[in-house]
Amino acid sequence: MNLCLMMFVSMWGESVLVYILMVFLFFMKSGEYLLMSVENFIEMDWVGWVLVMLSIWVIVLSIMSSMMIKNKGKFGGVFMSLNGGLLFFLMGSFVFSDYLMFYVSFECCLIPILLMILGWGYQPERAQAGIYLLFYTLFGSLPLFFFIMYISNNYGSGYMYVDLMVEGGLLVCVMTLLGFLVKFPMYGVHLWLLKAHVEAPVAGSMILAGVLLKLGGYGILRFLPLLFGQESIFLWLGCFSLWGGLLMSLICLRQMDMKLLIASSSVVHMSMCIVGLLVFSEWGLKGCVMMMLAHGLCSSGLFCLANITYERTSSRSMLLSKGLLNLMPTLSMFWFLLVMSNMAAPPSINLLSELILIVSLISWSSSVIAVLGLMSFFSASYSLFLYSLSQHGVFMPSKSSLKTTVLTEYLVLFLHWVPLNLLILAGWSMI
């Protein structure tokens, strides 16, 4: 009893109560319970609901994974405030029905994650990673801001759910989607993601891969109807994204850094999501949302696993972390389960999402069959490469006495894996 009271009066217990309060306020549909009526600019469909639930789930798990920040006294209060602010802006991005409000929340999400990288990053190079993150995302989304201003001034409405078709050429279409393609990210504008993941703390990597990348997909989903009629540029962007995903899958096969490999695999998975959205079909949309949900849980769990391994071996190199199966067999089991989910093995929802996306892409163009087949093969290859190289082999003598894994870490991994495999039941109902 005393332990429970101590937890709830502590800083971290208060933060959990704040998150519960935010969820409660979120589900209050009517504005009469609040100080101001928010239902004039808040509206949410099933896609926004799925991503809001994913945001809450991943951020809570990232906090549970960051207990070392509290134990070492590294400004835990500031860290929790950043997580709370990030959750607020993420929820705003997914529920605001006004384009300008969406853009403000969309860009404000960068501030907490940037401060996390600069404040709790591992190496001095975190300043360079922060600059990459800031310049890529801000400059990429600047044309999007001008496009939103153009809509508001010329069409008299910034409401997302009004049927509009904006007249513009190919350049307008590309520049508008650029801000979302950078955030997704698409191959060619993905360098900021690799640097940010390498330097970010575990919470930053989990939130970045689990939720922030999905902002790009959600933005494309909301703005694509405005650009309907530009199928030619969608074709070129889709082909470039697929070939970029294939190249990134080859790059994953030569990565020795755990975090770099997991971050590069995110680009591979998101490349299929981009094409699924650009196909502009119902199955493409459903497959994309399912893959964003599956990738959010799977990649977040893999980054958590990589951090647990790093805290014990002091290295992210798979060559220096061999033989972990002999030292931490239970942790190796979670490595196997999440790696299998990453390569779309049943019963993961990754399998269902990839099948739906592959069917929708083949119906769009049969010429992508070879590229999709190679991407699936290489995805399985680098996933097995990650598991076998880090868990099997002869461990180094200096690693023979590692700190045991605590129960909280197993709980976090379990809470990643269970919804990742149970949600396939809900996925079948969407088809």
- pLDDT tens track for 387-405: 999 898 877 656 555 667 7
Percentage of the chain beyond pLDDT 70 is 81
How far apart CA 303 and CA 97 sit, in angstroms, is 32
Q: Is the pTM of this model over 0.95?
A: no
Of the candidates 116, 273, 312, the one whose C-alpha atom is nearest the C-alpha of residue 197 is 116
Contact 331, 321 (CB under 8 A): no
Helical pair 282-313 and 349-364, crossing angle rounded to 10 deg: 140
H or E stretch covering 356: helix 349-364
- Does pLDDT of 6 surpass 50? no
Sign, CA dihedral 172-175-181-186, equals positive
Q: How far is CA 178 from CA 90, 136, 249, 301, 419, in A?
A: 20, 10, 22, 29, 32
How far apart CA 288 and CA 294 sit, in angstroms, is 10
- Does pLDDT of 192 surpass 70? yes
Q: Could you tell me the pLDDT band of residue 314, with boundaries at 50, 70 and 90?
A: confident
């969608």: which residue's tokens? 234
What mean pLDDT do residues 367-381 have? 93
Question: Domain coordinates of the chain in residue numbers?
Answer: 37-229, 230-431
Query: Averaging pLDDT over each range in 58-67, 136-145, 370-379, which range is the top one?
Result: 370-379
pLDDT at 431 (0 to 100)? 57
